[in-house]
Chain A
Amino acid sequence: MSDSAFPEEAHVSGFSATADRFSEAPLDLNELLVRKPAATFFVRASGEAMTGAGILPGDILVVDRSLPARSGAIVVAWVDGEFLVRTYRDEGGEIRLEPANPALSPVRLSDGEELRLFGVVTACVHRFAKPGSTT
């Protein structure tokens, strides 16, 4: 087709008009991983306690504080001066924090001891770049 019949500008504006009609915001990982931004925090896994659940050292965990801990959920809790990531088990009021690694034993709460829950882990971000690097 000749340039005079279809000047280049006409092509460009014609295309963008069509594209505008179908335009959507690009996909955003925040939308996928963060349901409640005000209650969502990121932490970094440092140990091997949860390797069986797919959490490797250096992975970034998405933690939602607004969710209640249900038995079977992976949680972050404060135990003896440090934050642990474990599977929360509540069996008839007997509360356990279970590792997903046979080399470690579960943490049992003694009678009357209250679980100091930080939040529920909703996702794990594992990257194949060199571990520990954030950029």
Chain B
Amino acid sequence: MIGLVDGNNFFVSCERVFDPSLEGKPVAVLSNNDGCVISRSYELKALDVPMGMPWFQLRKLVDRHGIVVRSSNYELYGDLSRRVIAVLREFSDRVEQYSIDEAFVHAAISDPEECLRFGREVRKAVLEWVGVPCGVGFAPTKTLAKIANHIGKKTPGGVYALPADPSPVLERIPVGEVWGVGRRLAPQLEAIGLRTARDLAEADEDELARRFSVVVARTASELRGVPAVDGAAAEPAQRSIACSRSFGRPVTEFEELRQSVALYLAEAAEKLRSERLKATSATVYCQFYPEYEPTRREGGADSVLVPFERPTSSTPELVKRTAPFLEAIFRRGRRYKKTGVILSCLDGDDGEQADLFADTRKEERADRLSAAMDRINGRFGKGTLFSPAQGIEKPWRMKRSFLSPAWTTNWDEIPEVR
């Protein structure tokens, strides 16, 4: 059976591990730049605050309901997420992380009762070791495990195993709630009479493949309990690395834009090097706001693809090679909202074909410099050493007004005990 483990209100739960005073209170975690609500405690859900409510709206409810607000503390959530995965690996040697707060755990058990026992053990260990509550749903396939997990969330104890004949359960689930069936696809399926998960499970696979896609046919197969979504096939090994963030305020100066892109290149390149990959191209993009004065202009985004003759993972190289292209897409008078970079890679460091005629010495030196910077940053904290192109002051950096300390990733911010 496959168990889907997911953290309940994961970001809020992470905040509560190190600040138990948040227990029992309505708590909201806001997205990047304190934009909107992305994680809610049960108490907040009870106040009918929807997911995605913008901060400027939530703000009006804060005093009346005693709502506690936190900015996204990704350092903390990332660390606790890694710990949850490590605990799961104690229980199964096949754990596939699906997102920051979800993972599939493969277990060689088929009896639903046995699954429940196993699930409770997993849940207890995650709660004790890491401190965050989670739900577990068991089923023979990933698509069904998603459904089981969903039901588990509403079950006291948080653990649920799909019965051997899941038809009565699938009957109650609208087709649009099935994993992999998007908002766009649901009306099309409903139009041919497939309204519930059970309808889709019983539909003819070949016809689904013909009318819609192989993906829909696979989903139907999964709903019948026949695995068709292979983790490895569904998620190919990392082939592109992206890094982007919104500015804390509109940016109009090229220099600030350049610094932000250099910082994201540095972060993406660090990830690249940790996986021993090299980028064959970089995409740099800039989003900008619409303008109303003096004339109305639409907001939008510009991007540019920069191919590299020789793959590289060196930060100074990446900055140098993308700089002219960034300059080319920059427009004076625009107010920029966000920049980002995507590095695409093909080869591992070792698999790369050496160009006999290229002068590799300079690149090797650049590689060694970058590797040394990573080591120092790993040891003394992110951002100890950086390329001057990243800028020393970062006035455009993300706004996080309600940020809790980096309890687990910064020695200066670990919890105090009296």
Contact = CB atoms under 8 A, between A and B. Distances in A.
Interface of A: 36-39, 41-47, 49, 60-61, 65-66, 76, 78, 81-85, 116, 118, 134-135
Interface size class of B (residues with CB under 8 A): 20 to 34
A128 B163 CA distance: 61
Per CB-CB distance, the 9 closest pairs between chain A and chain B, nearest first, are A38-B86, A39-B129, A134-B411, A47-B418, A83-B417, A46-B416, A38-B83, A85-B417, A78-B20
A35 B412 CA distance: 23
18 contacts: A38-B82, A38-B87, A41-B408, A42-B411, A42-B414, A43-B416, A43-B417, A44-B414, A44-B417, A45-B417, A46-B416, A47-B417, A60-B414, A61-B417, A65-B129, A81-B21, A83-B415, A118-B131
Nearest to B407: A41
A46 B416 CA distance: 6
B308 interface: no
B128 interface: yes
B49 interface: no
A9 to B, nearest CB: 23
B130 A65 contact: yes
Contacts of B380: 135
Interface of B: 20-21, 82-84, 86-87, 90, 125, 128-131, 380, 407-408, 411-412, 414-418
Nearest to B84: A38
B131 A134 contact: no
A42 B407 CA distance: 9
Given A39-B129, A78-B20, A44 B86 contact: no
Given A42-B411, A66-B128, 4 more contacts: A36-B129, A37-B83, A41-B408, A116-B20
Contacts of A47: 417-418
Nearest to A49: B418
A3 B319 CA distance: 49
A78 B407 CA distance: 16
A65 B129 CA distance: 5
B384 to A, nearest CB: 10
Most buried by B among A46, A76, A81, A83: A83
Given A81-B21, A134-B411, A135-B380, A38 B417 contact: no
Contacts of A49: 418
